[in-house]
Structure 1
């Protein structure tokens, strides 16, 4: 695993930890570059059903490691190459069919917030704070991440974030739809684990199929297509559908086998 990351598995759940606590888990170029490979590994591993992203220590991530900008973003060409790597990481996370969860403490700012928005779910402690700060650096946020943010919180709140660069607390983040839920200090781990276990117990054929369709909608598709038809056809012919219907009729908990 690349320096700055820790990756481990606990049963059905994989965890990717930003592990630079002394730097508030700032994301290096090498870490951005490594994210697509981690996603590929999770998607290909039949033993993993959910990916949790979190930060070591007090913070999720304070964003991209700006100390690298002098070398990597000192020219327009360098900045565009850097942004292409970031876009690859965001594209990989947001394109996952297996669900992803951002588990957030402390600072979730800039590129850290960008990563959390690319995840399917976001849970935080009350002390977490959020912001996206390109206007403090003279940067124009990329289309994909801007679209994801607008889809999540709406244009008014996205403008507040992007144009002001102001930070908000967890309560406000939940109010505008950035967070799914807030857990009391010390309860975040258990809360995320409980929700991840719920996802693991559901039909993985359903979860991955619906995630694929939601991704198409977010990308601007507004009508059915052959791929969606194939996903739905495979589901009704699959083992999970038969088991789900049988369990409902027999009034028992389904035992889904699809991985």
Structure 2
């Protein structure tokens, strides 16, 4: 495993942890480069149904490791190479069919917030702080991450984050839709894993099909296409649909089998 990352399987839930607590879990180029491969591994593993991303210690992540920038981003070519790794990580996360959940405590800033926004769900502990700070570094945020942020919080709030570099607390983040929910200190892990268990109990055919359709809508697609119609047709003819309908009619909990 790449230095600075920890990856474990807990039953049907995968957990990826930024593990540099002494550096507030700052994300190195090597860590960025490893994320896409880990996502591919999770997607391919039929025993896993969701990915939880979190940080070790008191913080989710304070962002990219700026100490590397002088060496790795000192030229246009170097910046392009670095950005390619970041883009691959963000694209892999946002393109997942299996659900991804950011479990956030402490600082979730810059690249850390970029990772969280790329996930399907964001749950935060009270007292967490959020910000995206390219304007403090003379960087222009990339297109895919900007689009994701605008889709999540709207253009006015996206401008607030990107142009000012100001931080907001967890209550404000919940208010503007940056996070799905905010929970009391000491309850974040239990809350997140309980939600992951709920997702695990649902039809994976439904979850993965709808996640793909949402991805297409977020990328600007406004009408159905052949892939979407095939996803829906396959679901109708699948075992999960038969089991879901039977369970509803028989007034019992569905036992979905597709993984």
In 2, the alpha carbon distance for the partners of 1:114 and 1:89 equals 10
Query: Is 1:193 matched up with 2:193?
Result: yes
Q: Aligned partners of 1:176, 1:142: CA distance in 2, in Å?
A: 22
* CA offsets 1:145-195 (integer angstroms, 9 cap, x no match): 000000000000000000000000000000000010011000001100110
Counterparts of 1:81 and 1:36 in 2: how far apart (Å)?
A: 15
The 1-side partners of 2:181 and 2:218 are apart by: 22
The corresponding residue for 1:43 is 43
Q: Does the residue aligned with 2:217 lie in a helix, a strand or coil?
A: helix
Alignment of 1:172-251 (within 5 A): 172-251=172-251
Write out aligned runs for 1:125-144 (5 A): 125-144=125-144
TM value normalised by structure 1: 1.00
SS where residue 52 of structure 1 aligns? Answer: strand
CA–CA separation in structure 1 for the residues paired with 2:166 and 2:110: 11
Give the equivalent residue in structure 1 for 2:64.
64
**Runs of 4+ with >2 A deviation:** none
Per-residue deviation at 1:76?
1.3
Alpha-carbon distance in structure 1 between the residues aligned to 2:33 and 2:190: 30
CA distance in 2, matches of 1:183, 1:159: 27
SS, match of residue 130 in structure 2: strand
Partner of 2:20 in structure 1?
20
Q: For structure 2, list consecutive stretches of 5 or more residues without a partner in the other structure.
A: none
State the match for 2:153 in structure 1: 153
Gaps of 5+ in 1: none
TM-score where L is the length of structure 2: 1.00
Shift of 1:98: 0.1
User: Helix, strand or coil: the match of 2:102?
Assistant: strand
- 1:93 equivalent in structure 2: 93
Offset from partner CA, 1:66-90 (integer Å, 9 cap, x none): 0000110001111111111100000
Aligned to 2:32: 32
Q: Distance in 2 between matches of 1:176 and 1:143?
A: 21
Partner of 1:169: 169
Q: Secondary structure at the match of 1:16?
A: strand
Instruction: Work out the number of aligned pairs and report it.
Output: 259
Whole-angstrom distance in 1 between the partners of 2:12 and 2:215: 23
Q: CA deviation at 1:3?
A: 0.5
Q: Which moved more, 1:74-83 or 1:116-125?
A: 74-83
Q: Provide the residue aligned with 2:84 in structure 1.
A: 84
1: CA distance, partners of 2:77 / 2:29:
15
Aligned partner of residue 101 in structure 1, secondary structure? strand
SS in 2 for 1:190: helix
Q: In structure 2, the residue corresponding to 1:27 is in which secondary structure?
A: coil
Deviation at 1:91, TM superposition (A): 0.2
